[in-house]
Amino acid sequence: MLSTLWHAIDLDFGLTVLADACLDTDPEVHTMLTEKLFPQWADVLAVEDWLKAIAPQ
């Protein structure tokens, strides 16, 4: 996941990370990545919030 994110950043993609669809074997690492690191370059959302955001109005 992390290397894919870096590659997408290098390509100037607009990014959304679905925090509860990602996993790390260490919960503290997952929390650090999704709360501190990823938000610098991506919108970090829960799957449910993302589904609401993309739903037709």
pLDDT digits (tens, 9 = 90+) for 12-46: 999 999 999 999 999 999 999 999 999 999 999 99
Whole-angstrom distance, CA of residue 10 vs CA of residue 30: 22
The dihedral built from the CA positions of residue 12, 10, 25 and 32, taken in this order, carries a sign that is negative
Q: Return the pLDDT at 31.
A: 96
The model's confidence at residue 1, banded by pLDDT at 50, 70 and 90, is confident
